[in-house]
Structure 1
Amino acid sequence: MPRDPFDYIIVGAGTAGCLLANRLSADPTKSVLLLEAGKKDNYLWIHVPVGYLYCIGNPRTDWMFQTEPTAGLNGRSLRYPRGKTLGGCSSINGMIYMRGQARDYDNWAALTGDEDWSWDKSLPDFKAHEHHYKLDGGADPKIGDNSRFSDLHGGDGELRIEKQRLRWDLLEAFAKAANEAGIESTDDFNSGDNAGVGYFEVTQKSGWRWNSSKAFLRPARDRKNLTVWTESHVERLVVETAEDGTKRCVGAVVRRGGDAVTVRASREVILSAGAIGSPHILQLSGIGPAPLLKSHGIEVLKDMPGVGENLQDHLQIRAIYKVENAKSMNTMANSLVGKAKIGLEYVLKRSGPMSMAPSQLGAFTRSDPSRPHANLEYHVQPLSLDAFGEDLHPFPAMTASVCNLNPTSRGHVRIKSNRVEDAPKIAPNYLATDEDRLIAAQSLKQVREIMAKPAMARFKPTEWKPGVQFQTDEDLARLAGDIANTIFHPTGTARMGRAEDPGAVVDTHLRVHGIKGLRVVDASVMPEIVSGNTNAPTLMIAEKAARWILAGS
């Protein structure tokens, strides 16, 4: 072992953990231990973009969580993918690069009283690690002068962001239909106002997935002061109490190769295990709601009611339409000849369906005109299936998934036992409020409006799910519960806030209240979920945290 104690121990080599390991180990005088429960990211399907189909639901790369049965989903339990490999969720996610809206971060600043979380103060932390294709040099011939993008994007960072390498007539038609429904086109979802319709940008490089392991660990792999342990499962944190009663996290107990090993940190332990893993580890360590911990025989080191509460997620309602006169992924991938063509195109060009993100076309708009900002996000796909990881339907079809960006329903993550091997209880509590159910119904009505526009007429779209027989808000909200699924954006379970806030777990510099030497740096610290996908905001959070940690603040 290079050094024990290490200066820093990072728990979780996912989206945030990889960036933190890079930034903290850049100082050769500081030693860093990065712990990952999963294996190395040397599995082929991690790197081929369409490989998410083989990574989700695969214990090689996925924690294989399930939610509790949910009343709002008519009693259904959902598969709840979380990345278990170097790169974490960035190794199995949809690769969409999306910051959210400026108002999200201004709201965080207002909620926490810390202007460092405002949009203007967060923008430099987004740009710091971006390697955006629009800033590669010459102007993009499709957009002309790209100088305006330098104010919003970075071109020298480690995270490659590219446009998608495919085109579908169905998606082009949907974009035009959205225009006809009053949704304007946009060429940049990441300006602070993501309203509009356009193609998502993706974290890919030349047709390969570009996960956080490639972006941040690969450049640091030869650093003598960075140690990376895979297949190393943290059982609990080690917290010591001084004579004056103050508590300090000094390390972690790690299950590695069948043995329990205690590792120590002289400066900080940083939890970056995600919105499910971080509260789970905190609770197992005696930091969490006292009644819950006592019920499982865990000594209460710090009674923190907010640990594991405030779970927020985006629920996508997957409206499926059968189509005619169109090439669909369903028809291409359901024949041997089609599969051969798809494979050959990827081998020769790194393009086509195998380079696809799960969703290609996006749209942000309002569920009704009274809304002050876009509160819906569409993920539009030239394919249909019952759920990711399952077979495509045998008929040509497309899917318009739509989600409420600002759900008011709140769930929780709670230990089921005092054994680290037992997965936590995950209860997202989807569609639990009248507002969320109303927006679900409005969403499905809006999809119908777009699909009925002239631009879609040549494809003769026929609603297959939920079905035109369902018309009332009550019917549509109930049917949404039958066809909706998670879009894999859990957040908020160790939220930041002021010391006097009983539900806050960390302060605005992400230090755990009442426990010295311990921070949480991942999506769990978000006080409210962002209005978009969560990978990019998690990287921004880690970028800020790295600066604070190195500055000792």
Structure 2
Amino acid sequence: MLPLALISQTGPQRVATGGRFLQASRARFSLLSRCKCNPGTKNRGCSFPGLSSADQYRTFSSTASKRNQQTPSYSYVVVGAGSAGCVLANRLSEDSHESVLLLEAGPKDIVLGSLRLSWKTHMPAALTYNLCDDKYNWYYHTLPQDNMDNRVLYWPRGRVWGGSSSLNAMVYIRGHAEDYNRWQREGADGWDYEHCLPYFRKAQSHELGENRYRGGSGPLHVTRGKTNHPLHNAFIEAGQQAGYPFTDDMNGYQQEGLGWMDMTIHKGKRWSTASAYLRPALGRPNLKTEVRCLASRILFDGNRAVGVEYVQEGQKKRVFAEKEVILSGGAINSPQLLLLSGVGNADDLKQLDIAVVQHLPGVGRNLQDHLEVYVQQRCTQPITLYKAQKPFQMVKIGLEWLTLFTGYGATAHLESGGFIRSRPQVTHPDIQFHFLPSQVIDHGRVASKIEAYQVHVGPMRSTSVGWLKLKSTDPLDHPILQPNYLSTDIDVWEFRQCIKLSREIFAQRAFDAFRGAEVQPGPEVQSDADIDAFIRKKADSAYHPSCTCKMGSPSDPAAVVDSQTRVLGLEGLRVVDASIMPSIVSGNLNAPTIMMAEKAADIIRGRPALVDSGVSVYQPPTLETQR
């Protein structure tokens, strides 16, 4: 969701330290030859002169037994300092007898220790700057989509401390309790709602205080919007006039209905996992971080993961894990690294001349995402964020935020939203709304030229499932992404309902004082065929790729990790991020990913699982209709 940007081998050496940092000097592994990069080739990696792609892989695949004896060793090596990786780095390093190395492909999220110098990342209203800039962003694109007029869709993913929690719209949504009960049925034993809710609470510190559903003392600060904008109030009121309930906490007892959204914003600043988890732990002597280092492969001794090979500043380096390697690169990078390392579908790996370490056909499969569209309406009153985009106002807003961390720069403006059911017999909400008192064009790259408001709307549990595959053995070569959007009839029907139900809400009397002409789909788009054509032309990703390293039973041929997050058939290797979701949740992904990392940290540390049985969850009085 995109609001307006107001401011444009053998195992590791066993040493007497028992897993603490080796104090010996660190070996530097130089490349066979300085890599030659073509700066004009977007999203391509470096090539090694005189070596074919297969030769490069074999060179990178030298056995762990050949490692230099000075290579550093840690208890845990975590790959990816994103929404999950920062959580793991913090929690695992709480045990002072363990050592943790956190590797991040991108830079730190802060310049010279100053949030103000890093305003593009930390000012909530400035989020589209990084969403559309490859400095902190992997900048992925899908294959042309057959069911969307052959369009190529843009997928921003964080490549910076905090990962996508440093780029996202800061909406804190957990999903529905039934999502996690479904995970249990899908083979993720111990991941039902009563086992997940305690970890949502553990992570969270909600400004409204602790209760049965909210946490009050966790590192992740969660707040509500402060603008009290009349258009947000109109949206919530219009929902009730259309027959939908009001919910005072869509992350609590009742998700269903319209109400005020929770946000990961604290004291006017984005509260990413880098801010919540990583920075508070940086002073620990047993936690080390490295940035601008791209993991190229996992090192194995037989079927045991013993380390990671990565490239940093043009040098190939290795690091070893005495206990475990943990992948937290997200739904694209984690399966990509597994595939580069010989873990995946054997037939696909052999086609790229990659030696097969473990045949796991589920790696990169089961790709799921949320697709959404913007329903936009002109506003007859000059109260939208349109004027905030004027140069003088932008400077004024920026100065207030830089000096006080307050004002229109201190919010992402997605302060209201909701969840409803698309049709009778649906047991829990399958459509999500995000309301914005402004107009967004092309992911925020184009400034609005009119007073307008919009709702982001889309189905939450799409039946269209895709995949990703390696394009080559080059770790910097983006994988092939095929989400297969709108490939089922029910997905097309549900999206059509999204348009119709959004229009119904905007037609309520609460908007009478503000409603101008419909901008999109537009008054001429009325028939089902016309609505379907509009969706094919305008729908875009909500930036929620997931499920590509599915958690499930070892008997499930599509599963990649078990319910303990261990990669099946291998030792010393886990995946902890949104990729291990068995199926996508009914809402945004940042909060569930943080929860999963909190729970996984307890699993890794051998701690008893937290559980909260008997928590009540809203059940609609009838499944015939909600109006």
Q: Under TM normalisation by the shorter chain, which class is it?
A: over 0.9
Q: Alignment partner of 1:310: what SS?
A: coil
For residue 228 of structure 2, what is the aligned residue in structure 1?
Answer: 167
Which range moved further: 451-460 or 530-539? Answer: 451-460
- Alignment partners' CA distance in 1, 2:242 and 2:406: 31
What are the residue-to-residue correspondences of 1:43-192 with 2, within 5 Å?
Answer: 43-112=118-187, 114=189, 116-135=190-209, 149-192=210-253
Say whether residues 1:328 and 2:384 are aligned partners: yes
Spell out the pairing of 1:8-23 with structure 2 (5 A cutoff): 8-23=76-91
Does the 8 A contact of 1:383 with 1:392 survive in 2? Answer: no
Q: Identify which range, 14-23 or 42-51, moves more after superposition.
A: 42-51
The correspondence for 2:411, drawn from 352, 356, 359, is 356
Name the structure 2 match of 1:415: 470
255-264 or 461-470, larger mean C-alpha shift:
461-470
8 Å CA contact 1:491, 1:526 repeated in 2: yes
Q: What amino acid is aligned across from residue 23 of structure 1 in structure 2? A: R
Alignment root-mean-square deviation, CA: 1.6
**Shift of residue 248 of structure 1?**
0.6
Amino acid at match of 2:242: A
Determine the C-alpha separation between the residues in 1 that align with 2:77 and 2:493: 45
SS at match of 1:440: helix
Match in the other structure for 1:28: 96
Counterpart Cα distance in 2 of 1:342 and 1:183: 35
User: Structure 1 stretch 336-345 or stretch 542-551: which is displaced more?
Assistant: 336-345
The code of the aligned residue for 1:58 comes to D
3-state SS, counterpart of residue 198 of structure 1: strand
* Cα distance, 1:251 vs structure 2: 0.6
Shift of 1:49: 0.7
Higher helix fraction (1 or 2):
1
Range moving further from structure 2, 300-309 or 385-394: 385-394
- Structure 1 residue 274 displacement after superposition: 0.1
* 8 Å Cα contact 1:438/1:473 also seen in 2: no
Cα distance in 2 between the residues matched to 1:496 and 1:336:
49
Is the CA contact 1:166–1:351 (under 8 Å) kept in the aligned structure 2?
no
The Cα shift of 1:61 comes to 0.8
Distance in 1, matches of 2:561 and 2:407, equals 44
**Partner residue in 1 for 2:394:** 339
SS in 2 for 1:292: helix
Kindly provide the CA deviation profile for residues 466-508 of structure 1, in whole angstroms up to 9, marking residues without a partner as x: 1222222232122112111111111100001111110000001
Q: 1:358 to 1:503 in 2, by over 3 A?
A: farther
Residue in 1 that maps onto 2:487 = 432
Q: Distance in 1 between matches of 2:324 and 2:177?
A: 31
Task: Report the equivalent of 1:309.
Answer: 365
Unaligned 5+ segments in structure 1 are: 136-148, 242-246
- The Cα of 1:281 is off from its aligned counterpart by 0.4
Q: Which residue of 1 aligns with 2:21?
A: 2
Match of 2:423 in 1: 368
Aligned-residue offset at 1:348: 5.7
Query: Does the Cα contact within 8 Å between 1:283 and 1:293 map onto a contact in 2?
Result: yes
Residues 328 and 235 of structure 1, relative CA distance in 2, 3 Å threshold: same
TM-score, normalised to structure 1, is 0.94
Distance 1:190 1:329 in 2: 27
- Which ranges in structure 2 are unaligned for 5 or more consecutive residues? 1-19, 23-71, 111-117, 609-627
The answer as to whether partners of 2:132 and 2:443 remain within 8 angstroms in 1 is no
Q: How far, CA to CA, are the matches of 1:48 and 1:268 in structure 2?
A: 36
From the CA coordinates, give the structure whose radius of gyration is larger.
2
Shift of 1:111: 1.3
Q: Tell me, what secondary structure is at the counterpart of 1:547?
A: helix
1:464-483 equivalences in 2 (<5 Å):
464-483=519-538
Number of residues of Structure 1 aligned to a counterpart in Structure 2: 533
Q: Is the 8 A contact 2:21 2:73 kept in 1?
A: no
What is the one-letter code of the residue matched to 2:314?
Answer: G
Instruction: Report the counterpart of residue 451 of structure 1 in structure 2.
Output: 506
Matched residues in 2 for 1:528 and 1:375: separation? 14
What is the rounded CA distance, in whole Å, between the counterparts of 2:607 and 2:231 in structure 1?
52
In structure 1, the partner of 2:11 is none
Q: Aligned residue for 1:535?
A: 590
How far did 1:319 drift?
Answer: 1.1
Which moves more between the two structures, 7-16 or 351-360? 351-360
Report 1:505-520 matches (<5 A): 505-520=560-575
Aligned 8 A contact 2:546 2:578 in 1:
yes
1:41 aligns with 2:109: yes
Alignment pair present for 1:258 and 2:318 = no
Counterpart CA distance in 2 for 1:552 and 1:296 is 41
Q: Secondary structure at the match of 2:129?
A: helix
> Which amino acid is the alignment partner of residue 184 of structure 2?
A
Q: Which residue of 1 aligns with 2:28?
A: none
TM-score (norm 2): 0.83
Task: Choose from 268, 274, 282 the match for 2:338.
Answer: 282
Q: Residue type matched to 1:190 in 2?
A: N
Whole-angstrom CA distance in 1 between matches of 2:552 and 2:342: 20
